[in-house]
């Protein structure tokens, strides 16, 4: 009913962009699909209302399937899901430890308002990105501080076939909160604490839980997200064969961070 080609093109593409913006799925080729419907000629006219399904929807399904397969092969997440808000692991209303320092959600809102721009990114995703930027900046600043520099090397561990009483004795005798569990080849298979041992009826292996690990050459500051998540009290340092090389606790990382901050302050004062 609109016979002016230039006007038809503008309206078709504008409506396509508006629909994609409203549904938060802005994708430039979507405007091209609307343009194809306008300039498609007899083929589009003959297809009628079938055109949005064949070839548009069919081609979209093929592209999504290829994208899904590619991301599976490269071990990346697809499609991108909504990031759940971080919760305090202790069941209180306080924000998680890693969110009590640095910028706050309201700072992001203020920055977005000051820029007066519209960004095609979810606010929670933006916050997660910025926190990762903070972490990477800290790791880069202290990249010379490695896990092997601050780890404990005399690690107390327990065999997977040991009974719960033996593991409990080791925890209490050495005043530690986590006990690495190893197999017959001295390879790490997990860890136990007093909470797990409280429900252990037989061997330690039956209540062993997964444990965070890192390599000796990894930047120590890279352990911050793990050791501030409210669940992990230590990270086990292992070699390529999962043999235990050391252990880094929250206390170890806190002491290292305090020393690094003191060093930075001293350098700044000397430079001034």
Per-residue pLDDT of the chain (272 residues), as tens digits, is 677 778 888 898 899 989 888 887 778 788 888 888 888 878 888 888 888 888 888 988 998 899 989 988 998 888 777 666 667 666 677 777 767 777 888 898 899 889 887 777 888 888 888 988 888 887 787 778 899 999 999 999 999 999 999 999 999 999 999 999 999 999 999 999 998 988 877 789 989 999 999 999 999 999 988 998 888 899 999 999 999 999 999 999 998 888 877 766 665 666 66
Task: Give the number of domains in the chain.
Answer: 3
Check residue 82 and give its pLDDT: 67
Round the average pLDDT of the chain to a whole number and report it: 86
- Output phi, psi for 90, to 5 deg: -95, 0
Which stretch of DSSP H or E encloses residue 74? none
2 CA to centre of own chain: 50
Domain co-membership, 16 together with 30 = yes
- The verdict on 16 and 110 lying in the same domain is no
One domain for residues 169 and 230? yes
128 in a structural domain: yes
pLDDT at site 250? 93
Contact (CB, 8 A) for 148 and 237: yes
Q: What tokens were used for 207?
A: 């209540």
Domain shared by 151 and 252, yes or no: yes
Give the range of the structural domain holding residue 109, as residue numbers without chain letter: 97-141
In a domain, 90, yes or no: no
Same structural domain, 134 and 209:
no
Return the sign of the alpha-carbon dihedral for residues 197, 203, 205, 206: negative
| Rounded Cα gap, residues 120 and 23, in angstroms | 11
111 and 39 in one domain?
no
């Amino acid at each position: 009913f609109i016979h002016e080609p230039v006007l038809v093109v503008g309206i078709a593409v504008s409506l396509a962009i508006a629909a994609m913006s409203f549904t938060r799925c802005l994708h430039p080729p979507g405007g091209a699909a609307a343009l194809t419907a306008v300039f498609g000629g007899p083929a589009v006219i003959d297809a009628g209302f079938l055109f949005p399904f064949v070839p548009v929807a069919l081609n979209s399904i093929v592209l999504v399937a290829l994208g899904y397969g590619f991301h599976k092969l490269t071990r990346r997440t697809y499609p991108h899901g909504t990031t759940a808000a971080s919760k305090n692991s202790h069941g209180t209303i306080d924000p998680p430890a890693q969110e009590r320092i640095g910028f706050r959600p309201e700072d992001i809102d203020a920055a977005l308002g000051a820029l007066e721009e519209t960004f095609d990114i979810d606010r929670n995703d933006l916050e997660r990105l910025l926190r990762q930027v903070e972490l990477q900046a800290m790791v880069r600043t202290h990249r010379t501080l490695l896990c092997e520099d601050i780890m404990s090397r005399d690690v107390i561990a327990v065999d997977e076939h040991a009974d719960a009483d033996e593991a409990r004795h080791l925890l209490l005798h050495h005043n530690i909160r986590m006990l690495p569990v190893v197999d017959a080849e001295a390879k790490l298979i997990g860890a136990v604490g007093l909470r797990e041992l409280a429900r252990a009826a037989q061997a330690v292996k039956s209540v062993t839980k997964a444990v965070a690990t890192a390599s000796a050459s990894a930047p120590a500051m890279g352990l911050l997200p793990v050791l501030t998540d409210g669940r992990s009290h230590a990270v086990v340092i292992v070699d390529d064969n999962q043999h235990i090389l050391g252990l880094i606790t929250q206390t170890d990382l806190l002491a290292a961070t305090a020393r690094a901050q003191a060093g930075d302050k001293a350098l700044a004062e000397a430079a001034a």
